[in-house]
Amino acid sequence: MKSINPVNNEVIREYPEHSPEEIATIIGSVAEAYELWKESSFEYRAELFKSCARLLREKKRVYARLMTLEMGKLLRESESEIEKCAWVCDFYSDHGASMLQDEIVPSDARRSFIAYQPLGILLAVMPWNFPFWQVFRFAAPSLMAGNAAVLKHASNVPGCALAIEEIFQEAGFPPDLFRALMIPSRDVANVIANRHIKAVSLTGSEAAGSQVASLAGKNLKKSLLELGGSDPFIVLDDAELTAAVQTGVIARMINQGQSCIAAKRFIVMKKVIRDFETAITEEFRRLRVGDPMDPSTQVAPMARPDLVQEIARQVKGSIEAGARLLCGGHPMERPGCYFEPTVLTDVRPGMRVYHEETFGPVVAIIPVESEEEAIKVANDSEFGLGGCVWTKDLHRGERVARQVITGAMFVNGMTKSDPRLPFGGVGKSGYGRELGLQGIREFVNTKTIWIG
């Protein structure tokens, strides 16, 4: 298992994979740790998560640098990601106990209530694009609820996986409560089948989600999937264009466009489309390409060479189908995995960037005549993760937000995740919810207790 720097494609370090025997031994150790952990108090768990948050902030620069080296994220974005991980630890430390307290429900019993109890060991199959946040988004509520976990991280960020394991241990959690498995995707099936694994959470591609859901179903184990997205960024004719453009650049370019909830389909009413095209193209042309460790850099490399090749094919195919290129459009002629910030317009059905998730720095502008057509186009997708709408009329914005079929809609703001709010999608963007009250209750046994 290799860690490769996408800035120059040089190998940082190689890691040995765990053998089937080592995997079984690790899971057995986690099972033993779980038996004690599930009996621990919420106060004790909360104290450890506070320690975890402090440790993340104290070593923010170290963890951020590791993240940037392994997958190319801008260093300042990596630092923000570590801060967000600390936030989710603090959030569930503060609120986890109240979210899982017994819930009294009047019935024909002398006393009846709902108890929320842990399931056991959870398997997390996580992606490379937010290598710390995706894991803590899963781990904070899951462990606070009394579960244990094993992590199968993306194969290009093994250093991040082991660092997260060390964070939990250094924060004082039981040594085997959270373990990272150094395994390739082909070994996931055997882990899911292990009798100690009670559920699986996956964040990743549609193909990976389908396979994991099938394996979980075969083994009668719960699964949660957070998959791809092709989020609409709707610009109505009364939008504040300056704000929409400025936010649109950030929403599309965060993590070099390699985010499930990045803005991808820019659905713009024709009354304002030319002004929008001009403004966002000017912003894209001004973006500075460089080393992600350099504070002045605005465009970092993509995570892997194959991702550059795929986004290039999507852009080329869409142009051949009639899309108009306003800027960019090609891999950059420099070392590393760089792709030019790209703006396409006149995007129509039948084009790859209209239908597919574009995991890279590419804006696809789709012209529409009306609010009704904007909603229709937004819903013309197999994905349904997030989206946003821009308008000066907040009642209009809410009306549109309610009609777009996604797990989240934002009015006059970019789509983002927040520990206080549930996060997840519909359709081929997956099922289940992370974060918020719903997130901590995903992996618990919701038990009815009736006392006569």
Please give the order of strands across the beta sheet that includes 121-125.
178-181, 148-152, 121-125, 197-203, 222-226, 430-431
Together in a domain, 207 and 240: no
Q: What are phi and psi of 125, to 5 degrees?
A: -105, 110
Q: What is the CATH number of the domain that holds 402?
A: 3.40.309.10
Together in a domain, 111 and 143: yes
Together in a domain, 447 and 404: no
Together in a domain, 221 and 271: no
Tell me, what's the pLDDT at 211?
97
Together in a domain, 197 and 252: no
Residue range(s) defining the domain that contains residue 23: 2-227+426-451
Together in a domain, 198 and 327: no
Please, is 349 exposed, middle or buried when counting C-beta atoms within 10 Å of its C-beta (0-12, 13-18, 19+)? exposed
- 89 carries an active-site annotation: no
CA 353/CA 231 separation, integer angstroms: 12
First and final CA of the chain: distance in angstroms? 57
Tell me, what's the pLDDT at 55?
98
Q: Which of 260, 337, 371, 388 is catalytic?
A: 260
Mean pLDDT of the chain: 98
The answer to whether residue 421 sits within a structural domain is no
Mean pLDDT of the region 289-307: 97
- 260 carries an active-site annotation: yes
Overall number of domains in the chain: 2
Q: Does the CA dihedral 347-349-351-354 come out positive or negative?
A: positive
Together in a domain, 211 and 161: yes
Q: Which residue has the tokens 């993306």?
A: 154
**Side chain identity, residue 37:** W
Mean pLDDT of the region 231-254: 98
Together in a domain, 293 and 320: yes
For the stretch 116-150, pLDDT in tens is 999 999 999 999 999 999 999 999 999 999 999 99
Together in a domain, 319 and 270: yes
For the stretch 11-68, pLDDT in tens is 999 999 999 999 999 999 999 999 999 999 999 999 999 999 999 999 999 999 999 9
342 beta partners: 362
Together in a domain, 277 and 192: no
Q: Which of 70, 81, 165, 226 is catalytic?
A: 226
CA 337/CA 309 separation, integer angstroms: 9
Tell me, what's the pLDDT at 169?
98
Backbone Cα Rg of the chain: 22
Together in a domain, 201 and 54: yes
Pairing of strands 121-125, 197-203: parallel
For the stretch 95-112, pLDDT in tens is 999 999 999 999 999 999
Mean pLDDT of the region 285-300: 97
4 beta partners: 11
For the stretch 407-425, pLDDT in tens is 999 999 999 999 999 999 9
Tell me, what's the pLDDT at 49?
98
Tell me, what's the pLDDT at 390?
98
**Side chain identity, residue 261:** I
| Residue 359: band (very low, low, confident or very high) from pLDDT cuts 50, 70, 90 | very high
Percent of the chain with pLDDT over 70: 100
Please give the order of strands across the beta sheet that includes 103-104.
103-104, 111-118, 444-451
| Residue 209: band (very low, low, confident or very high) from pLDDT cuts 50, 70, 90 | very high
Percent of the chain with pLDDT over 90: 100
| Residue 188: band (very low, low, confident or very high) from pLDDT cuts 50, 70, 90 | very high
322 beta partners: none
Question: How far apart, in Å, are the Cα atoms of 414 and each of 246, 262, 405?
Answer: 10, 8, 17
| Residue 295: band (very low, low, confident or very high) from pLDDT cuts 50, 70, 90 | very high
CA 357/CA 375 separation, integer angstroms: 18
Pairing of strands 222-226, 430-431: antiparallel
Q: What is the CATH number of the domain that holds 17?
A: 3.40.605.10
